[in-house]
Chains A and B, each alone.
Chain A
Amino acid sequence: MMRASALLPVLLATFAAAAPGVTSASDRARVPGASFATILPPAPDAKVATVPAFELDRTPVTNAQFAAFVAANPRWRRDRVARVFADSAYLQHWSSATQPGRGTGNQPVTQVSWFAAKAYCEAQGARLPSWHEWEWVAAASATQRDARQDPAWRQTILDWYARPASSALPDVGTSEANVYGIRDVHGLVWEWVLDLGSMMVSGDNREQGDPDLAKFCGSGALSLEQKDNYAMLMRIATLSSMKATYTSKTMGFRCAAGPE
């Protein structure tokens, strides 16, 4: 059993290399629904988030997969993309408008905007995961669904965030799988989420004298919980600093399926 699960990512990677961009449901792992204490409260008076069961890509989307998408959807080529959907650094690290750099096919695609990531997932009949879905999967270790109180696991994750970014990204699928069989949630790239526009903690909002009156309807700005959970706070800070057109050398994504 151990052998088989260790072999799976290798097989998947081989498959992805042979048929780039082909994503079938079997590339996604099923995550049962859950209610959990979230770092980003769904409402000012609610500290528990509930996510229905969903499926999530086992690994981040690769350069080869994204190249297949670009070939089928030329409006997402770097030389044709509308500036309103992606900044000028979009896919600039590729060899050409259609080809990733040699040997980078199995690396996670980065320098893609939220709009491009969203369009990719929609082209697969999927969507980006919500923050809460991503957060819940990120709470899992190899053995536990919620390992957030495990000091050893927490330290492993923090060590990655403390490590300087190396020039070349590793291939996807090389890190240890979590309890769902999902890999690279930590330790590889930042990832876009569907509800990017819900982070509600941007500096702009905090600068407002009275956000409740000045800018918000319904309720005020959401505050963050679990202030000692640095790894998750860094994720939120990074996401909330990104606009949907921005691209970054360390921002990739994966797709999810199922009702939001």
Chain B
Amino acid sequence: MKRMAALLLAFLFAVDVVAKESDPPESIYQLDARLTDQSGNARGLDVYRDTRVLITMFYGSCQATCPLIIDTLRSTERGLSPEQRAKLRVLMISFDPERDTPRALAEIAATRRIDTTRWTLATADAETVRSIAALLDVQYRRLPSGEFSHTAVITVLSPGGEIEARSTKLGRADPELLEHLRR
């Protein structure tokens, strides 16, 4: 029985090691991040592993630029062929774990008619948010008002979690980003 347990343990350990080593060296999926999506499900940063994904950071109560981020993501999707679009996913991570609860995120998804079979809105604790922002080179600060000042960045991740391209253009789809996604 002890032997069995030891074998099982060795097996589990080996699986763990293999899983980690399968990530490319530049994969941001190596961050041990715990996210919660708009349905309240626990997810990793690799919600859309094995698929190309547009990843961005935002906060739900933002009145000015953040609705524009969703518009820009949509515009980017519209610039692709149906086949290219079908293979692309979108992950939006909130800076604001206090107010962007799964329920609040679900409300944003409903209001903005977001297709949650292809898009995920997620929240994480403040420490995880810091690490994700650092990986994506997103600058942000929580203001005393509870608002966030932040850079708006849309990043393209490879199926393995490597940063392929990024854009800070808002409003319409960034032509350079589109060109990259069409390749």
Contacts and interface: CB of A to CB of B under 8 A. Distances in A.
B135 to A, nearest CB: 7
Contacts of A197: 130, 133-134, 138-140
29 contacts: A42-B141, A42-B144, A46-B144, A82-B23, A82-B25, A83-B26, A84-B27, A84-B30, A122-B127, A195-B130, A196-B134, A197-B133, A197-B139, A198-B140, A198-B141, A199-B139, A200-B141, A205-B139, A214-B168, A215-B152, A215-B168, A216-B65, A216-B149, A217-B59, A217-B66, A217-B149, A217-B150, A219-B147, A222-B141
User: Which A-B residue pairs are the 8 nearest by beta carbons?
Assistant: A217-B65, A244-B134, A198-B141, A218-B149, A83-B25, A218-B147, A82-B30, A43-B143
In which size bucket is the chain A interface? 20 to 34
Nearest to A122: B127
Contacts of A114: 134
Given A42-B143, A217-B66, A194 B130 contact: yes
Q: In this complex, which of A43, A218, A220 has the most chain B Cβ atoms within 10 angstroms of its Cβ?
A: A218
Contacts of B141: 42, 195, 198, 200, 222
Given A83-B25, A217-B58, A222 B149 contact: yes
B5 to A, nearest CB: 24
B144 to A, nearest CB: 6
Interface in A211-228: 214-220, 222
Nearest to A243: B137
B150 A218 contact: yes
B134 A43 contact: no
Contacts of B58: 217
Interface string B114-148: 00000000000011001101110111110111011
Interface residues of B, number: 38
Looking at B62, B131, B148, which has the most chain A CB atoms within 10 Å of its CB?
B131
A212 B31 CA distance: 31
A185 B54 CA distance: 41
Nearest to B30: A82
B28 interface: yes
Contacts of B25: 82-84
B99 to A, nearest CB: 13
Interface of B: 23, 25-28, 30-31, 58-59, 62, 64-66, 69, 126-127, 130-131, 133-135, 137-141, 143-145, 147-152, 168-170
B44 to A, nearest CB: 15
B134 A115 contact: yes
B64 A85 contact: no
Contacts of B134: 114-115, 196-197, 243-244
Given A84-B27, A115-B131, A43 B144 contact: yes
B183 to A, nearest CB: 23
B139 A200 contact: yes
B170 A214 contact: yes
Nearest to B28: A84
A218 B65 contact: yes
Contacts of B150: 216-218
Contacts of A23: none
Contacts of A115: 131, 134
Contact of B131 (A118, A218, A243): A118
A202 interface: yes
A208 B134 CA distance: 20
Contacts of B127: 118, 122, 127
Given A84-B25, A115-B131, A122-B127, A218 B139 contact: no
